[in-house]
Amino acid sequence: MADQSTDKSKYKSPSTGDYCTCAQYIAELVCQRMAEKNNEGSLSYKFWNSEKWNSLYKQQIFVAHKLVKKYKESAIVKALNSSRGKKIYSLRFPGLENIILAEQKKIELQEQKSSNIIYDTDISDKRRKPFGKKSPAQRLRDLDGENK
């Protein structure tokens, strides 16, 4: 765990408050859901050191590393926080990869849409001519002949 955010450690740990990797964050998130489901309350500080959570946390982090290698980090986190993923208590859930894949496709579509936008900075030629009544100042300019 790191005190400051880095390229690898950019997620805040729910239990310690330090920065951690995506796999650690995902594993902690799932373990926290399990604890709440079993009415054990929130997890303690560095809960993975206790006998009860040690093996479970290691299993979840092992699967989380596989998921991070296969899919984008943001897709995994969004899938677990989505309405379909809120009730997932293990990363070994068979339907989890389908949910992650759907989220990854959404993210890729958004990236394609944002990258296809072309901004035209030269708008001087595309100005529209004014319509309607002329202002008194414009009438005077027309009489002087300055508007050519």
The tokens for 76 are 């995994």
Please report how many Cα atoms fall inside a 13 Å half-sphere around the Cα of residue 15, on the Cβ side: 24
Residue with token string 């982090």: 61
What one-letter code names the amino acid at 44?
Answer: S
The percentage of the chain sitting over the pLDDT mark of 70, rounded to a whole number, equals 83
At residue 90, does pLDDT exceed 80? yes
Q: 24, 68, 72: which is closest to 48 by C-alpha? A: 24
Mean pLDDT over 73-98 rounds to 88
Answer yes or no: are the C-beta atoms of 59 and 29 closer than 8 Å. Answer: no
Q: What is the pTM of this model?
A: 0.68
**3-state SS assignment for residue 33:** helix
